[in-house]
Amino acid sequence: MKRKIIVEPDPILRKKCNPIEKVDDEIKKLMKDMLETMYDAPGIGLAAIQIGILKRLVVIDISKDEKKNPLFLVNPKIISQSKTTSVYEEGCLSLPGQFAEIERPSECLVKYIDLDGKEKELKADGLLATCIQHEVDHLNGILFIDYLSKLKKDMIIKKLVKHKKEIERIVV
Ligand code: ZN
């Protein structure tokens, strides 16, 4: 089932998410919904907080073609990051139409629990590393605009407020 994505500014996006104790059917169902919502948007990553659920859950799929390759991360925790950095022009499903160049560590090692409840470790680089770091930020109430100057950040938020008003306005 597709869920509604929360758009900045919204105080929910600034909350800290809670860890999952057990990967049960309810969590699996929720992650399937998150994946469907992400594919539909479309996006390459989505955290549960973006659909208003304050749980440490992330779905990612950076595959470009039709062959899907979803990654389900329960309680993801970044345990190390490289000193070298890389820059990507980032967007976010909670910041529609907004993009900015963000510098992050180019590699990271992430520990997480998979859909079968097994503990896993993944060493990521390139786009995947950036995507994981972006999503883990969401779980801590951080958005990519927080890395920008106050001026740039305020400009983006102003645009989003205007955008929100526009989508609410209807003539019937
Ligand atoms: Zn995002």
Find the mean pLDDT for residues 23-39: 97
Provide DSSP, 128-171: HHHHHHHHHHHHTT--GGGGS-HHHHHHHHHHHHHHHHHHH---
Whether residue 76 has a cis bond before it, omega within 30° of 0: no
Q: Establish whether the linkage from the previous residue to 105 is cis, with ω within 30° of 0.
A: no
CA of 65 to the centre of ligand 1 (A): 21
**Separation of alpha carbons 49 and 6, rounded Å:** 8
Q: Please list, in sequence order, all residues whose beta carbon lies within 8 angstroms of the beta carbon of residue 166, skipping any fewer than 6 positions away.
A: none
Whether the per-residue pLDDT at 168 is higher than 90: the answer is no
Q: What is the pLDDT of residues 103-152, one digit of tens each?
A: 999 999 999 999 999 999 999 999 999 999 999 999 999 999 999 999 99
Per-residue pLDDT band for 172 (boundaries 50, 70, 90) equals: confident
Q: How far is the CA of 25 from the centre of ligand 1 (A)?
A: 25
Q: What is the pLDDT of residue 114?
A: 97
- From ligand 1's centre to the CA of 114, what distance in Å? 21
Domain boundaries 11-169, corresponding CATH code: 3.90.45.10
In the numeric block, which tokens belong to residue 114?
């998979």
Helix (H, G, I), strand (E, B) or coil at 105: strand
Q: Is the pLDDT of residue 169 over 80?
A: no
Which residues are identified as catalytic? 135
Residue 133 CB contacts under 8 Å (≥ 6 apart), including other chains: 78, 81, 104, 105, 108
Contacts 24+ apart (CB under 8 A), 82-89: 82/106, 82/107, 82/108, 86/126, 86/129, 86/130, 88/127, 88/130
Q: What does the pLDDT look like over 58-95, one tens digit per residue?
A: 999 999 777 899 999 999 999 999 999 999 999 999 99
Rounded to the nearest whole angstrom, what is the distance from the C-alpha of residue 18 to the centroid of ligand 1?
A: 18
Burial-class residue 105 by CB neighbours within 10 Å (0-12, 13-18, 19+).
middle
Encoded tokens for 101: 């160049």
Per-residue pLDDT at 170: 76
Prediction pTM value: 0.95
